[in-house]
Structure 1
Amino acid sequence: MNRFIYFDNLRSVTVLLTLAVLLLQPWAAFYEEGAVVAISIIFFISAYFGASALRIRTISFFLRDKWKRLGWPGMFLLLLGIEEQLVTGSLPVTSWVLPWLFLLFAGLALVKQVNHNVLQHRTASKPSLPFLLVFIALLAVALFLCQAFLPQILLIPYIAQIRPDWLFLSFFAFALGVYAFRHRWFTPSGYQPKGRALLGFAIMIGVYAAWMPGKGATILTALTPTLLLIASVLGLSACFRQQFNGHTAWSHTLHRLSYGLFFVSEPIILHAMWFLQPLAVAVWLKIVITALILAIYGYLLCRYALLHIPCFKSKG
């Protein structure tokens, strides 16, 4: 299928949001809701385009491509966590994204192996109320059980720290992306979210910031990120389709570099903050210095090194 430029732009901006989340971890409210938005968008769009690719390709070719794009870079990041733990004393928090996304694609390929027609297009439709209610109920229950009975953070020594609730959230965002592809959302003949969906996104951002910090496991703390996931996907896609459905020189450069920038961001931030930690300066100044280091060093590394490695080259 033809790529949607606004999806490319949205994913690129989401990478910048991820960098901001990593830089601004001391601000709990922004960190939590920013992570939910970033996870929702990245896994939804990845599933949408991944399902399209798997529909027209053989399973073996698809898995080889995903291993090249996600598998070995993800394994490298997990191994790099050992070095980061030894040097900085901190474990990475996003290293799980690439291996987890690869496992989700492998599971989708297995589903296709069992039912070859599972990814064929259905009649173009819009999100129905029964579907949305079932989706919201299932994810809210999953998040509630996760918050109530699982630790907030699972530590894999010397490799990474993983939030179980984010694993569930990303799984459902991925499933929603596959469903949207099958039912031809965002296509000319299918469902197109309206501008008012952006209002729903803005409302949920406010609700999340006001409600979530410091709360325990309740049905509301499970329902809020669930609604924010849906609002992020529909609201931001509507906004970008209307306002950012074309490439400029800046957006095209960011699109080409975004995957590599996502790949190198956490190691750069962890090491920069570790070296800056002894300085007797304000936290905000350390964050600004770290952001400048990331912007300059990350750009040079992506532009002149990673873009020459096949797995980091842009496909769009």
Structure 2
Amino acid sequence: MGKSIEKSTKGNMENRMYFMDNLRAFIILLVIVFHVAIGYMAPAPEWWYVVDIKSHPVFNLFVMTTDVFIMPILFLLAGYFTMPVLEKQGMSTFLREKFFRIVLPWIAGVLFLAPAITYMIWYSRTSTPPAYFTYLITNFFSAATFNHAHYWFLGDLAWFFVFFAAIYKAFPSLFQRKAEASSPSFVFLVLFGLVTAATFFIANFYFYADEWFSRLYIISFQPTRFFLCACYFALGIHAWRNRWFTEEGYMPHFSYWMRHLLLQC
């Protein structure tokens, strides 16, 4: 029995995609630096929580560049590992785990941490900010000012998992993994780029690029980027089905990703 456990552990380690772990860790670190840099932009956005009196245009370049790809990559990774986790755990365990790992931290963050984060706007910009609990009762939960702060990602991801589970239950055959690996065609990549760009620019006709929608309380998102993130989540599932990024599958060279990033910018 000990040998079988050792063999199973060894197999899991061999099959683990460590470069995906490294990518996820790098992007999360970049997200932290990104949010720090916003406060030093010249000028920083008025809606940002804390704005430093010192600023430099180099932070503008950094923020505008990284803002293009950091969240799409996180949603793509989430989509890519959705099906293998579901296949391993089953639907009931999958949803239960997502509830404890995604939904509960999201709710706790919105109720207990987001108010303190958004209170920094009042505290750092006014000479006589309201008392915290006064702000919490009279301002934060009003429809005009309520938002999920940084926890919007968990909320949107939770809703993506809910819709995915509903579609999977109705059409499980759509998510079966292919026996052989395949690579995306040039036409597919171009069309995907055009469609995702179109979702942003069309929404931008009706909403500001940085506008947030939180009026329903149970979801918070940027209308100009919501469908963009949804597309990358779906792309992650599609990539898994076609065995991209596996040893025998689609492995684009680093130079391709850099060219794609420059085109998006």
Q: Is TM more than 0.5 here?
A: yes
Partners of 1:44 and 1:124 lie apart in 2 by 18
> Which string of whole-angstrom CA distances, capped at 9 and with x for unpartnered residues, describes residues 215-268 of structure 1?
xxxxxxxxx36xxxxxxxxxxxxxxxxxxxxxxxxxxxxxxxxxxxxxxxxxxx
Partners of 2:231 and 2:253 lie apart in 1 by 22
Aligned to 1:154: 212
Aligned to 1:168: 227
> Which string of whole-angstrom CA distances, capped at 9 and with x for unpartnered residues, describes residues 120-169 of structure 1?
11231111123223312321221111111123312537x89742223222
DSSP 3-state at the match of 2:150: coil
Aligned to 2:99: 67
Deviation at 1:48, TM superposition (A): 0.6
Partners of 1:59 and 1:104 lie apart in 2 by 15
Structure 2 unaligned spans of 5+: 1-11, 42-58, 124-146
Deviation at 1:103, TM superposition (A): 1.1
Aligned to 2:202: 145
Specify the code of the residue in structure 1 equivalent to 2:247. Answer: P
Instruction: Decide whether the 8 Å contact of 2:83 with 2:237 is kept in 1.
Output: yes
DSSP 3-state at the match of 1:184: coil
- Structure 2 residue 28 is matched with structure 1 residue 15: yes
Instruction: Decide whether the 8 Å contact of 1:48 with 1:178 is kept in 2.
Output: yes
DSSP 3-state at the match of 1:151: coil
Instruction: Decide whether the 8 Å contact of 2:117 with 2:149 is kept in 1.
Output: no
Deviation at 1:187, TM superposition (A): 1.2
Aligned to 2:240: 181
Instruction: Decide whether the 8 Å contact of 2:114 with 2:149 is kept in 1.
Output: no
TM-aligned CA distance change 1:28 to 1:92, over 3 Å = farther
- Structure 2 residue 256 is matched with structure 1 residue 197: yes
> Which string of whole-angstrom CA distances, capped at 9 and with x for unpartnered residues, describes residues 69-122 of structure 1?
111111112122223334543866422001111111121111110012222112
Deviation at 1:14, TM superposition (A): 0.5
Partners of 2:174 and 2:88 lie apart in 1 by 12
Larger Rg: 2
TM-aligned CA distance change 1:199 to 1:42, over 3 Å = closer
When the two chains are superposed, the root-mean-square deviation of aligned CA atoms in Å is 2.4
Structure 1 unaligned spans of 5+: 208-223, 226-316
Specify the code of the residue in structure 1 equivalent to 2:97. Answer: D
Structural mapping, 1:1-316, within 5 Å: 2-25=15-38, 26=41, 27-79=59-111, 80-86=113-119, 88-89=121-122, 93-122=149-178, 123-152=180-209, 153-154=211-212, 156=214, 162-201=221-260, 204-205=261-262, 224=264
Relative contact order higher in (CA < 8 Å, ≥ 6 apart): 1
DSSP 3-state at the match of 2:243: coil
Give the TM-score of the pair, scaled to structure 2. Answer: 0.69
Specify the code of the residue in structure 2 equivalent to 1:24. Answer: A
> Which string of whole-angstrom CA distances, capped at 9 and with x for unpartnered residues, describes residues 192-214 of structure 1?
2124324425xx34x6xxxxxxx
Partners of 1:197 and 1:82 lie apart in 2 by 41
TM-aligned CA distance change 1:138 to 1:195, over 3 Å = closer
Aligned to 1:210: none
Give the TM-score of the pair, scaled to structure 1. Answer: 0.59
> Which string of whole-angstrom CA distances, capped at 9 and with x for unpartnered residues, describes residues 35-70 of structure 1?
222112211111111122123432221111111111
Partners of 1:112 and 1:183 lie apart in 2 by 17
Partners of 1:162 and 1:94 lie apart in 2 by 11
**Count of aligned residue pairs for this structure pair:** 205
Specify the code of the residue in structure 2 equivalent to 1:107. Answer: F
TM-aligned CA distance change 1:108 to 1:156, over 3 Å = closer
DSSP 3-state at the match of 1:154: coil
DSSP 3-state at the match of 2:225: helix
Instruction: Decide whether the 8 Å contact of 1:45 with 1:177 is kept in 2.
Output: yes
Deviation at 1:176, TM superposition (A): 0.9
Instruction: Decide whether the 8 Å contact of 2:155 with 2:220 is kept in 1.
Output: no
Partners of 1:170 and 1:93 lie apart in 2 by 17
